[in-house]
Structure 1
Amino acid sequence: MRLLLATRNAKKLVELRRILAESTSVELVGLDDVPPYPEEPETALTFEGNALAKARDGVRHTGLPCVADDSGLTVDALNGMPGVFSARWSGRHGDDAANLALLLGQLGDVGDEDRGGAFVCAAALVFPDGREHVVRGEVRGRVLREPRGVNGFGYDPVFVPDGFEISTAEMSADEKDAISHRGKAFRAVAELLGA
């Protein structure tokens, strides 16, 4: 089966391909592999709402089964923000350096004991016949005072999962996939595809 992942993020494609390869024979393609279509802005106030809207859009425009995710970092001291605004927290979509700088500036006076948070991922799987599934993955941890590591993307350099002493940007791809929010959600999608 050919499956569309509704993203242009090459790192997400690589990550989902690794996870799907463990248990399925699905051919995964991204938005750059299908004819262009107008992508709706993410306007939902939940990860689940944004993921479902993107997956429905992908099916409607391509006729392919589609998986889409919305993910981000929720920080307890910021009342769950940046949340669904994680990728554009600094005002510029996808500017990881600016997003990290703003987040760290906002948490500058917050004590280490109050820097808890979670990476959250909602993944929606929508089929052309109308079947829809939404799954959620989450990993709790804490936000560092400065970035560490060069792997991953987004907020990985400032997030240490519970039970670890290294950031997710210091983990290998396999280590991160095993515990990450996106890894958990995408493995649940793989189970749905295998069922």
Structure 2
Amino acid sequence: MQLVFATNNPNKIKEVQSLIPQHIKLLSLKDIGCFEDVPETKNTIKGNAIQKAEYIKAHYGYDCFADDTGLEVEPLNNEPGVFSARYAGPKRDANDNMELLLNNLKDKPNRNAQFKTVVALHLNGKLETFTGICKGEITQDKKGDKGFGYDPIFLPNGYNKTFAEIDLKLKNEIGHRGKAITILVNYLNSL
């Protein structure tokens, strides 16, 4: 089986490749010659994942899956949510995003947050979605140099290290994307 993972983010590809069974060949957008920005204009994480999967199927004809992820911070009314990548502006700069988030939480005792990933699979003319959630809290400052995005300031419940301090194997076991991809893989294996 061959599936396009609708991303050019090498960090996401690395994370997901380690979860997908060997018999499934994973292709990136680059592999299929897609170099344009795939639209992400919906106002929900699920809506963006579906939009990306439908775009690739419609424009390139491949069976594919797409994900969208957001960090939902409880005391900020679940911001940045669907705008996580562009929280501090269109540059999509992870450090700027973290700095703005930490600043917005400065005087808030509640730092509860969750990462949510929705994966939309377009396969054999059917669309399915799978959701993974990892609950935790936002730290006071950045810790660790692994991972990407908000990983240095996200402390998963039950752990004393941020996502940026733990190895990829553990992150995939407990993390939002790993949970959603595991559900996707179980679904693919059941076909």
TM class by smaller structure: over 0.9
Query: d(CA) in 2 for partners of 1:68 and 1:187?
Result: 14
3-state secondary structure, aligned to 1:11: helix
Shift >6 Å, 4+ stretches = none
1:116-135 counterparts in 2 under 5 A? 116-127=112-123, 129-135=124-130
- CA gap of 1:91–1:5, structure 2 versus 1, over 3 A, is same
Matched, 1:61 2:59: yes
The structure with the greater share of residues assigned to helix is 1
Judge conservation of contact 2:163–2:171 (CA < 8 Å) in 1. yes
1:37-186 counterparts in 2 under 5 A? 38-111=36-109, 114-127=110-123, 129-186=124-181
TM-score, length of structure 1 as denominator length: 0.94
Judge conservation of contact 2:39–2:51 (CA < 8 Å) in 1. no
- CA gap of 1:133–1:93, structure 2 versus 1, over 3 A, is farther
Report how far residue 65 of structure 1 moved: 0.9
Cα displacement string for residues 53-105 of structure 1 (whole angstroms, at most 9, x for unaligned residues): 10011111222111100001100010000000000000134310110111111
Judge conservation of contact 1:159–1:168 (CA < 8 Å) in 2. yes
Aligned positions, number: 190
57-66 vs 96-105, which moves further? 57-66
RMSD of the TM alignment (CA)? 1.2
Cα displacement string for residues 103-131 of structure 1 (whole angstroms, at most 9, x for unaligned residues): 111111112xx00010100000002x321
Q: What 5-or-longer segments of structure 2 have no aligned partner?
A: none
Q: What 5-or-longer segments of structure 1 have no aligned partner?
A: none
Q: Which amino acid aligns with 2:118?
A: A
Q: Which amino acid aligns with 1:17?
A: Q
3-state secondary structure, aligned to 1:19: coil
114-123 vs 55-64, which moves further? 55-64
Report how far residue 41 of structure 1 moved: 2.6
Percent sequence identity over aligned pairs: 38
Judge conservation of contact 2:94–2:149 (CA < 8 Å) in 1. yes
Matched, 1:6 2:33: no
Query: d(CA) in 2 for partners of 1:156 and 1:173?
Result: 12
Query: d(CA) in 2 for partners of 1:141 and 1:5?
Result: 27
Report how far residue 39 of structure 1 moved: 3.9
1:191 to 182, 186, 191: 186
